Structure 1
Amino acid sequence: MPLVVPGLQSNSAGASDDWQSKLVGKKLGDAHDEVTFAKQDLPASHRVIRPDSMSTMDFRPERVNIHVDGEGTVRKVVKG
């Protein structure tokens, strides 16, 4: 098995891809079901960005940015 050194040989986008596959197309709510993801299961460092909201441009590699549309459906997830 090959040695993987985080940050050097691994793809940091992988964590973002995991959250993207879990969240895109769902709404955020209080409990899980077919169309909703429970807010309490999001990582501690996250923010929800709505179309009409402002956000800072600071980069925090551990933070998950969740972009939702006007109806609250997750459209994109990125780290930073």
Structure 2
Amino acid sequence: MATPTDTDPRAILRGGLPDRYLTPDDIAELFDVPKETVYQWRKKRLGPPGFRIGKHLRYDPADVRAYVTRRKTTDQDAA
């Protein structure tokens, strides 16, 4: 039986780093944005850094967490 932590990337990142790389779908769900936004962030180098495994785009959860931390720090400094 799947628990919310198993299926919700937001719960996984809050509870600890998952033992897998995240997909663009995970990132879109995590930030509550359309998947196209995730691809635009990558194209414009605005979002969390991703990498390719063959033709597949993946995100390291540690990089996503660092990205969120940087954004929170930047937003607090601007306020």
Bigger-Rg structure (1/2): 1
**Scaled by the length of structure 1, what TM-score is found?**
0.23
More RCO (CA 8 Å, sep 6+):
1
**Scaled by the length of structure 2, what TM-score is found?**
0.23
The structure that is strand-richer by fraction is 1
